[in-house]
Amino acid sequence: MNTLLNILIDGLAYGMVLFVIAVGLSVTLGLMRFVNLSHGAFAMVGGYCAALLTREAQWSFWLAVPAAVLATALLGGLLEALVLRHLYRRKELEQVLFTIGLSFVLIATTNALVGPQVQMIPLPPLLSGSVDLGFRTLPAQRLLVIGAGCAVAALAAWTVSCTRFGIWLRAAVDHSGTASSLGIPIRTVQCASFAAGAALAGLGGILGAELMPLEPYYALKYLVLVLVVVSVGGMGSITGSLLAAVLLGVIETASKYLASEWGSLFFFVAMALLLAWRPNGLLKR
Amino acid sequence: MKFHRRALACALFASAALSLAAPQAMAQNVKVGIIGPFSGPFAHYGSLFKAAAQAYVASQGGKLAGQNVEFIYRDTGGPNPALTKTLVQELLVKDKVDYLGGFVFTPNAMAVAPLIQQSRTPTVIFNAATSAITEKSEYFVRTSYTLWQVTVPAAQWAAKQNMKKVVTAVTDYGPGIDAETAFKSEFTKQGGTVVESIRMPIATTDFGPFVQRIKASGAQAVYTFLPGGPPNLGFVKAYNENGLAKAGVQFLGSAETDEYDLQKFGDAALGLTTVFHYAGAHDSSENRKFVAALKKQDPNAVANYASVGAWDGMYVIHKMIEATGGKKDGAKAMAAARALAWESPRGPVSIDPKTRHITQNVYLRKVEKAGDALVNKELLSFGAQTDFGLEK
């Protein structure tokens, strides 16, 4: 009984970390249909900004996080406006090649600027302790991640389905020609969406740094996990990504409690089965 | 006019011959190939090897036994036996190196054994810590440590502290399994029980579940081994955040509080207990000399097991050059290396003539604060230890 509760709690916490890291990709790859393999690199940029601001510049954590997220959004918006916009109409393979190349450039740049060692984000006292749940303790930082994950999921789902901007975005992706003749500012919508995706990646990089430590190879190391979450969840569905992340998180955690000698086998078997059952993902838009 | 032209041609020819001859006169240099990761996620090992090796030569006045030393660095990236073999072959055939040094990863060291055996090239291992490596060629000599060497005293100490139940938690790969086997066999011999042996997949990022299992096992301590860097940081963080120390499960490790990662733990690391052969804070004049020379060479270099392994490795190469007078003579050089005993920054050490592995003191250490920085404070020495993995 205790083990079951432990699995559920740890699984939820791990799944939320996966979700927070993957939700940005769910926007750029899922909603904008842009094969964005540089997602991990944006997450890394966000994490590095937060680490450097809190550690080197001595900013407060609560100030450094929004600043780092904003910086990542700016970088994403800038890259979109200058380079990436030319790739929307290209083939997927070209998008893959370009964004992988971009990841390598960002890996080499962080390595050259900050060095190869792991970067830690110092947590404020409020988050560095652990919370007593009665029968066990949970790191306080995980509660923040769970809260932030729920908030991001709700906000993003609401923006996409209920606001004018969400309608514009969907219209711009599905029928860009019609949308633009109806007077929808396509370029602004695309640029803002990509920047939002980058910002979410940055947030994921910061909040997930406890489990996925920041180092130059971060950009590629966790990309597979993130792609799995988005594809199992269903392209473009933020609720789907949330569901997939929590489900896969619980499966991975259960295998660590019960059958750790099998490694990540169950995680990937679950992925294969889920994709065989629903090739377009759990919830496809 | 014609005569002038011929004279000019002669002069040109002579000067060309001279300039060709010049590098041959220079070729008296002793060449040392250093193999390690100089790029990628393990690049810090390479830069520590480089800093320590050059610092050693500088500390000897720029020459070893009267010979100029030329280092040739080769980058293996990470664990990559095929590439390492190619690089070493090139060093041996094209660059004609006299000695080889370095090697962070066991598979890389294993891969070059036939090459150094055939070319009779003395090879000093600065890091790779699996016992079996030195058995693969009689030209291997090792100045780092093995997991058996540090784990056996750790198990004996745990038994002496009246611990009856210990759980082992290691990363599921070569050295981790060495650590698990060594602890289990020695601790059981001392009358204790290993209640659970957890092997954590090498790609693990979330250590929470494993730490919960350790807590639930009811053990008095956890003996652990993880590769340096992200896994190490993640495990120690999970150990702290899940309140294991408060629950009475003592942390017992080896390289986990290595000086390179230590400052990143922050105050959470205070009180972590490890059993290991070198602490950057080791209190001796040899060590102070080493730290000063290292800092002079590279202000960013850290005195840890990798840099001290390279420093002592260069000492061994120095003595081999001395014994052979700078000529390449693998057998004579190895005979000299087998007989070495000296005062290293880590304490008194010697090369075991049979296994060609370093015999050294192993210490019990605890993380403490000295000024602003965290250090591994040595609490007691278990005395000289050999490689128990090879003596079985």
| pLDDT for B27 beyond 70 | no
Given a cut of 50, whether residue B23 has pLDDT beyond it is no
Q: What is the mean pLDDT of residues A92-115?
A: 92
- Structural tokens at position A191: 């640029």
* pLDDT at residue A285, as a whole number: 60
Q: Spell out the domains of chain A, with CATH numbers in brackets.
A: 1-277 (1.10.3470)
pLDDT in tens, B110-144: 999 999 999 999 999 999 888 889 999 999 999 99
DSSP at A123 = P
- Name the CA radius of gyration of chain B, rounded: 24
**Over chain B, what is the mean pLDDT?**
88
In angstroms, the separation between the Cα of residue B275 and the nearest Cα of chain A is 24
| Helices B43-59 and B285-297, axial angle in degrees (round to 10) | 110
Mutate to test the interface with B, among A20, A128, A130, A211 (most CBs of B within 10 A): A211
- A216 contact B CB<8A: yes
Q: What percent of chain A shows pLDDT beyond 70?
A: 99
Q: Which residue has the tokens 């799944």?
A: A15
Record: contact B264-A118, CB cut-off 8 A: yes
B210:A137 CB<8 A: no
State residue B77's pLDDT score. 85
Query: Would the pLDDT of A124 be above 60?
Result: yes
Res B7: pLDDT:
56
Q: Does A80 touch chain B (CB under 8 A)?
A: no
Whether B57 and B48 have beta carbons less than 8 Å apart is answered as no
Note the pLDDT tens digit of each residue in B266-277: 887 888 999 999
Mean pLDDT of B230-242: 85
Q: What pLDDT sits at residue B391?
A: 58
Distance in Å, alpha carbon of A248 to nearest chain B alpha carbon: 13
Residue A181 above 60 pLDDT?
yes
CA A139/CA A146 separation, integer angstroms: 11
pLDDT, tens digit, 9 for 90 and up, residues A14-50? 999 899 989 889 888 888 888 999 999 999 999 999 9
Whole-number pLDDT of residue B22: 45
Please, which pLDDT band fits residue A180 given cuts at 50, 70 and 90? confident
Which of B172, B240, B241, B372 best probes binding to A when mutated, by most A CB atoms within 10 angstroms?
A: B241
Q: Is residue B123 within 8 Å of residue B320, measured between CB atoms?
A: no
SS3 A38: coil
Which of B48, B206, B261 to mutate to test binding with chain A, by most A CBs within 10 Å of its CB? B206
Question: Region A95-101: what's the mean pLDDT?
Answer: 94
Closest CA to A212 of A221, A199, A200, A201: A221
Distance from CA of A120 to the nearest CA of B (A): 7
**Minimal C-alpha gap between A223 and chain B (Å):** 13
> Which residues in chain B touch residue A133, judged by CB atoms under 8 angstroms apart?
none
* pLDDT of res. B41: 75
* Residues facing residue B169 across a β-bridge: B198, B224
Sequence letter at residue B46:
G
Residue B20 confidence (pLDDT) above 70: no
Question: Which of helix, strand or coil describes residue B331?
Answer: helix
Pairwise CA distance, residues B218 & B56, whole Å: 48
**In Å, what is the CA distance from B130 to each residue of B22, B108, B133, B146?**
44, 12, 6, 6
ipTM greater than cut 0.90: no
Output the pLDDT for position A74.
96
pTM: 0.80
Stretch A167-196: mean pLDDT:
89
Residue B1 reports pLDDT greater than 60: no
- With a cut of 70, say whether residue A97 has pLDDT above it: yes
> What is the C-alpha separation between A184 and A198, in angstroms, rounded?
22
